[in-house]
Amino acid sequence: MANFYRDNDDIQFLFNHIDLAAIAELQEEGFKFAKDFDYAPANAAEAIKNYDLVLDALGELSGNFIAPRSEQIDRDGNRLNEDGSVTRPDGIAQSIDALGKAGVMGFTLPHRFGGLNFPNLVYSIANEIVSRADASLMNIFGLQGIAETINYFADEDIRQRYLHDFSAGKVTGAMVLTEPDAGSDLQAVKLKAFQDDDGQWYLYGVKRFITNGCGEVLLVLARSEPDRSGGLGLSLFVCERGPTVHVRRLEDKLGIHGSPTCELFFDNTPCRLVGERKRGLAPYVMSLMNGARIGISAQSLGIAEATWRVARDYAASREQFGRAIEKLPAVRDMVIDMKIEIEAARALLYETSLMVDFDSNLEKKLQYDPPADKEALKELKNQSRKYNRYAGMLTPMTKYFSSEMCNRITYDSIQVLGGSGYMRDYPCERHARDARITTIYEGTSQLQIVAAVRGVCSGTAEKYLVEELATRQYDPQLADLLEILKEGTTQMVECAAFVKEKGVDYMDLYGRRLVDIAIYIINGYLFCRQASGKFDMQIPVAQGSDAFGSTISMKQRKAMIARRYIMRNAPVIKAVASVIKSADESTFSQYEALIGPVPVE
């Protein structure tokens, strides 16, 4: 029996390595819900046990039910009917039904709406597991942020109308943001929202590239102030699928074929305002998109894990020149690097999710249950601001890093399989097609870098790393690696100061390189932290090893990974830093000469 939670040693290790008790207490608000809800935990141990049990059930469902349907789902795709309705592939419909019956469609919703009230970190683990089984299904399972947005910002009547059905798996949702002329630039949204004489709101216009646009509950960004351009003219609305919402087309896509991507026409669709007018883009949609970006990071990780496993198995079983191809140095090195990149992305995603959990829960405590003591209140505000800055920097970092990693891993997995990887006999080509969208939707890699580099240049990255070094206890055997990381941090700070001095355009030009340096250092510390924590476990070693027995300590293995990762990236950081400080601005001054004229057909 396959279980995509239990069979992943790294997930098992991190689940026990991370301090889930601290976040469980915040999430359950001191476990006060236990007196009103039988299924709410009464203490941290109960909460963590619940997380483990649900992930175990989801892992089994993903491995035994969802994954076997994924190949046929990819081939079948969605179908637009003459009446404008959408027919999903049988496998997707069956999987959505199974997830609803499993009670996991309200992962982060409060208990009072029938939700599990799980922290974002556990939801990220769940999204990774589902994505490994079927990346396109995650685009529906992972849209639970729509329900979260309703819970955070809508009035109680709207919450009661929709959130129970979300938790029960009776409805799915869509975030309806993009338009033909407003892709990444959401301030340019034109879809109209207007009121009649009785104050009823209506929507009129077109939206495009809408994931699960055929869902039952739609969150729509629209221009409610016709005389006001930009983001301050936008508000957020909720409406239901009905006769005035027309699916005009389904996009014919490269990958994620099980996920319907729709063009929608709203023909005077009745809707309701979510929250306040003129706040649709910020903070409402930005909060929604930040959650979605973490979801895409998890989706990327799941795809990468799935395709790496195919490559690993093939490298061990495929023989060429009288031996398994994993004995060839070039293949061996590639497969190791793939594995380490996946674990680096997982470390960064889980750390980001944890920061988001602290951020959201501390903000909620400030809003609804602030301490009476002035000093305690001041400290809570300081902690809230700190985690808000960390979450704001790490969220675009993890989306960028995981999605780019995912594309590299799927490409390399095809390479390991050679000609077989290019054929549909193996799932690698499907994983590669599914991976390609991850660097594009919910904000391209370029936009993630623009957001992340501000965190580096503002000093947030430095503060995060200084706190990491000051508050952690590391294994003494890692002392030389910590010195290398401190040197890298110094180089990062120098580069940040240099690009700030050169101006915003230069910052954006070299932003990717600077963000890469920050990620290398952060991941290095995370690996060292994993190698130094209290929790440990034994994991099997591949057969044929002369240096090890049949098992190895996970902390010992993490120390090996930390050493390889940090030592190999140290010269890269130095080289990249020299490029950043080169002051080369030929991209600006010589663009026309270097690029040549626009080609004429």
**Tokens standing for 22?**
């601290």
Q: Among 415, 437, 459, identify where a domain stops.
A: 437
In this structure, the answer to whether residues 455 and 506 fall within a common structural domain is yes
Q: Do 514 and 392 belong together in one domain? A: no
pLDDT bin (cut points 50, 70, 90) of residue 542 is confident
Parallel, antiparallel, or unpaired for β 217-223 and 173-176? parallel
Q: Which of these three, 388, 409, 437, is where a domain ends? A: 437
Residue 434 has pLDDT above 70, yes or no: yes
Q: What share of the chain is helix, strand, coil (3-state, %, to 5)?
A: 65, 10, 25
Mean per-residue pLDDT of the chain: 95
CA distance 480 to 472: 16
pLDDT of 166-189, one tens digit each? 999 999 999 999 999 888 889 999
Q: How confident is the model at residue 517 (pLDDT cuts 50, 70, 90)?
A: very high
Q: Is the pLDDT of residue 545 over 70?
A: no
CATH number for the domain including 222?
2.40.110.10
Average pLDDT of the residues in 515-519: 98
- Residue 3 domain flag: no
- Residue 211 sits in the same domain as residue 72: no
Do residues 31 and 125 both lie within one domain?
yes
Give the C-alpha distances (Å, rounded to integers) separating 152 from 147, 255, 283. Answer: 9, 33, 11
Domain assignment present for residue 4? The answer is no
Share of the chain above pLDDT 70, in %: 99
pLDDT at 548 > cutoff 80: no
pLDDT in tens, 381-415: 999 999 999 999 999 999 999 999 999 999 999 99
List pLDDT tens digits, range 101-123: 999 999 999 999 999 999 999 99
Residue 282: its pLDDT value, please?
87
Kindly state the DSSP code that residue 43 receives in the 8-state scheme: S
Pair (151, 248) in one structural domain: no
**Which pLDDT value is given to residue 240?**
96
How big is the chain by its Cα radius of gyration, in Å? 24
Q: Classify residue 382 as exposed, middle or buried by CB count within 10 Å of its CB (0-12, 13-18, 19+).
A: exposed
Q: What is the mean pLDDT of residues 58-70?
A: 98
Q: How many CB atoms lie within 10 A of CB 474?
A: 18
Query: What's the pLDDT score for residue 546?
Result: 57
Assign residue 537 the CATH number of its domain: 1.20.120.470
Residue 82 lies inside a defined structural domain of this protein: yes
| Residues 287 and 255 occupy one common structural domain | no
452 and 353 part of one domain: no
**Is residue 73 one of the residues assigned to a domain?**
yes
What pLDDT shows up at residue 111? 97
In a domain, 598, yes or no: no
Distance from chain centroid for Cα 595: 35
According to DSSP, the residues that pair with 459 across neighbouring strands are: none
Q: Which domain holds residue 350?
A: 9-169+282-437
Q: Say if residue 237 is in the same domain as residue 327.
A: no
The stretch 222-228 carries a mean pLDDT of 94
Are 85 and 108 contained in the same domain?
yes
The reply to whether 206 and 254 lie within a common domain is yes
Buried-state track 8-36, b at ≥16 Cβ within 10 A, e below 16: bebbbbbbbbbebeebbbbbbeebebbee
Give the lowest-confidence range in 146-155, 349-358, 512-521, 542-551: 542-551
Q: In this predicted structure, which of 320-329, 385-394, 558-567 has the lowest mean pLDDT?
A: 320-329
Count Cβ atoms within 10 A of the Cβ of residue 419 and give its class: 0-12 exposed, 13-18 middle, 19 or more buried: exposed
Domain termination site, one of 223, 249, 281: 281
What's the CATH code of the domain at 129?
1.20.140.10
pLDDT beyond 80 at 549: no
pLDDT digits (tens, 9 = 90+) for 241-258: 999 999 999 999 999 999
Residues 256, 306: one domain?
Answer: no
- Please indicate, yes or no, whether residues 104 and 61 belong to a single structural domain of this protein: yes
Banded pLDDT at 235 (limits 50, 70, 90): very high
Handedness of CA 59, 60, 65, 71 (dihedral sign): positive
Give the per-residue pLDDT at 469. Answer: 86
Whether the upstream peptide bond of residue 370 has omega within 30° of 0, thus cis, is no
Total of domains in the chain: 3
- Pick from 490, 482, 465: nearest CA to 574: 490
